[in-house]
Amino acid sequence: MDTQSLSAFVAIVDHQSFSEAAEALHLTQPAISKRLASLENQIGTALIDRRQRGMALTDAGSRLLPYARRILDELHNARLDLETTTHRIAGRLPVIASHHIGLHHLPAWLRRFNREFPQVELALQFMDSESAFEQMRRRVCELAFVTLNDAMDQHFNVHEQWADPMVFVCGKTHPLADVRKPTLASLAPYSALLPDTGTATYRVVSRLFLSEGLTLNPQMPTNYLETLKMMTSVGLGWSVLPLKMTDESLVRLEVPHQLERMLGAVGLAGRELSPAARALLRIVKDMH
């Protein structure tokens, strides 16, 4: 089994599309189909069930996939080990950041990083943390700066983490703004402006309400915290936002519960970081 065929197989699985996998590997679609066919001939069985609508792994494909990923990861690690003898930090560094980290943390890190390592080409993508984890599994980037959650699995290493305090807030015109000592029961009748139910923030708030036998009333979920802040500031409901985001447009509700989430830098387990990625991590650690 040659690594080019394994790369083609993994790319097809990750992208669920021959054309998108070919584009990712800078190949034509016939070329990537040929590489998959070659691998299937070597193994003697089909790896992907090509159905009319979508595709699925065969039993053999499911069994081969984790081995293929490990082989490609080890090849990646070997290349890095050989390249690090030059002690030169350069090349392309693909990084994912959540929207919040991208707005409130990343600028200071990148300002210093670009000054100290001008030969590194940063390739940045911004997305919600849950999407970032999926992209990391596909080996799209080396590092992701995200909200950590209890659903993370053994695929990931947490290289750095820090607490992000969060507070209950509402707009100045919202009825809760005049409540002197608000409780969760005070908040329950009003619309809650929170991220999607799959996010760490929603789960933290939901557990609080559940522990007191209260029902949340979520409205218009969005994972973009700046949008939640805007909707809260105009009085559409209450929210839970990072303390760093609060300003004069919001009223902090002194609910007697301390909330925080954990932010962090994650990489893939079993896949070594490049010198450029390690250099960026050193800056993040220095500045926290």
Look at residue 85 in the predicted model and tell me its pLDDT: 63
Specify the amino acid at residue 90.
A
SS3 at position 183: coil
User: Is it the case that residue 155 has pLDDT exceeding 90?
Assistant: no
* pLDDT tier at 62, thresholds 50, 70, 90: very high
**Dist. CA 93–CA 123, nearest whole Å:** 6
User: Is it the case that residue 191 has pLDDT exceeding 90?
Assistant: yes
Q: Which long-range contacts (CB under 8 A, 24 or more apart) does 11-20 make?
A: 12/36, 12/48, 12/55, 13/48, 13/57, 13/61, 13/65, 14/137, 14/138, 14/139, 15/138, 16/54, 16/55
User: Is it the case that residue 77 has pLDDT exceeding 90?
Assistant: no
The model's pLDDT over 103-133, given as tens digits with 9 standing for 90+, comes to 889 999 999 999 999 999 999 999 988 889 8
Look at residue 87 in the predicted model and tell me its pLDDT: 66
Provide the mean pLDDT of the chain.
90
**Dist. CA 247–CA 233, nearest whole Å:** 10
User: Is it the case that residue 151 has pLDDT exceeding 80?
Assistant: no
Of 187, 101, 190, the C-alpha closest to 148 is 101
SS3 at position 19: helix
Alpha helices in the chain (DSSP H): 3-15, 18-24, 29-43, 59-83, 99-104, 106-116, 129-137, 184-187, 200-211, 225-233, 275-286
Look at residue 138 in the predicted model and tell me its pLDDT: 82
Mean pLDDT value across residues 171-196: 95
Helical axes 59-83 vs 3-15, angle rounded to 10°:
120
* Residue 254 dihedral angles phi and psi, to the nearest 5°: -80, 60
* pLDDT tier at 226, thresholds 50, 70, 90: very high
Look at residue 110 in the predicted model and tell me its pLDDT: 95
**Dist. CA 209–CA 238, nearest whole Å:** 14
* Residue 132 dihedral angles phi and psi, to the nearest 5°: -65, -40
* pLDDT tier at 41, thresholds 50, 70, 90: very high
Look at residue 89 in the predicted model and tell me its pLDDT: 86
Of 19, 25, 68, the C-alpha closest to 43 is 68
* pLDDT tier at 52, thresholds 50, 70, 90: low
**Dist. CA 190–CA 203, nearest whole Å:** 18
- What pTM does this model have? 0.79
Mean pLDDT value across residues 76-99: 81
The percent of residues in the chain predicted with pLDDT above 90, rounded, is: 60
* pLDDT tier at 63, thresholds 50, 70, 90: very high
Look at residue 149 in the predicted model and tell me its pLDDT: 81
Q: How many CB atoms lie within 10 A of CB 155?
A: 15
Do 96 and 140 meet the contact criterion of CB atoms below 8 Å apart? Answer: yes
**Positive or negative: CA dihedral 279, 280, 285, 287:** positive
